[in-house]
Amino acid sequence: MSETETLKDFITRTLETSLAPISLDVVDESHLHAGHGGWREEGETHFRLDVVSAAFEGKTRVERHRVVNGLLEPAFQRGLHALAVRARTPSDAA
């Protein structure tokens, strides 16, 4: 992750590359957490994502979240504070 790449761009690029999602929605919700723990005025601290990928087939909800969190570890190291994840398979999304 480059220092000039936004966290949203990093999250999007990483998940697209690693999971080949059918659908991916990455939303910066930092503004909703102003003044709360982990929030920074410059934003990019709280994200919500909805990802649909065949890579989740056969995995439990917890396993799916672990996959996403593991892929995004560098984002947490760079200041991501909270991540709400909806990780579905194509059959879940149908």
Tell whether the model's pLDDT for residue 29 goes beyond 70.
Answer: yes
Predicted local confidence at residue 66, as pLDDT: 97
Average pLDDT of span 32-49: 66
pLDDT > 70? residue 34:
no
Q: What is the full DSSP assignment across 12-23?
A: HHHHHHHH--SE
In contact, 1 and 75? CB cutoff 8 Å: yes
pTM for the whole structure: 0.84
Token representation of residue 62 = 């917890």
| pLDDT at 40 (0 to 100) | 55
Percent share of the chain, pLDDT over 70: 83
On the question of pLDDT at 9 being above 80, the answer is: yes
Q: Which domains does the chain have, with CATH numbers?
A: 7-93 (3.30.300.90)
Q: In whole angstroms, what is the distance from residue 71 CA to residue 38 CA? A: 20
